[in-house]
Chains A and B, each alone.
Chain A
Amino acid sequence: MALINLSKKEIHCKIVYYGPGRCGKTTNLLYIYNAMNNQARSKMLTIETKGERTLFFDLLPLNLGKINGFDIRIQLYTVPGQVIYEATRKLVLKGVDGLVFVADCLKVRREKNRESFQDLHRNLFEYNLTTEEIPIVLQFNKCDLVPTPIPTLTKEELEVDLNSELNTKVFEAAAIKGIGVFETLKEISKRTIHYVATKHLSINH
Chain B
Amino acid sequence: MADLVLTTSVLEETKIQIENVLIKAGVNTVILIDEAGNVVAACGHRTCDLDTTSLAALAAANFGVTSQIAKLIGEDDFALLFHKGKKDSIHFARISTDLILVTIFGENVSLGLVRLRVAQLAKTIEKAFGQNN
Contact = CB atoms under 8 A, between A and B. Distances in A.
Contact of B57 (A7, A59, A88, A199): A59
A5 B57 CA distance: 17
Interface residues of B, number: 27
B11 interface: yes
Interface stretch (B32-40, B79-87, B115-123): B32-40
Contacts of A18: none
B7 interface: yes
A42 interface: yes
Interface of B is mostly: mixed
Interface in A29-75: 42-43, 45, 47, 56-57, 59, 61, 75
Given A94-B35, A95-B35, A1 B4 contact: yes
A7 B34 CA distance: 17
Interface in B4-41: 4-8, 11-12, 34-38, 40
A8 to B, nearest CB: 8
Nearest to A59: B57
B61 A75 contact: no
Contacts of A92: 61
Given A59-B54, A95-B37, A1 B7 contact: no
A162 interface: no
Given A1-B98, A3-B3, A196-B3, A94 B54 contact: no
Interface of A is mostly: mixed
B36 A4 contact: no
Most B CB contacts (10 A, CB to CB) among A7, A57, A87, A127 go to: A7
B3 A94 contact: no
B110 interface: no
Interface of A: 1-7, 12, 14, 42-43, 45, 47, 56-57, 59, 61, 75, 77, 87-88, 91-92, 94-96, 127, 196, 199-200
7 contacts: A1-B38, A6-B7, A6-B8, A7-B6, A7-B8, A42-B51, A94-B64
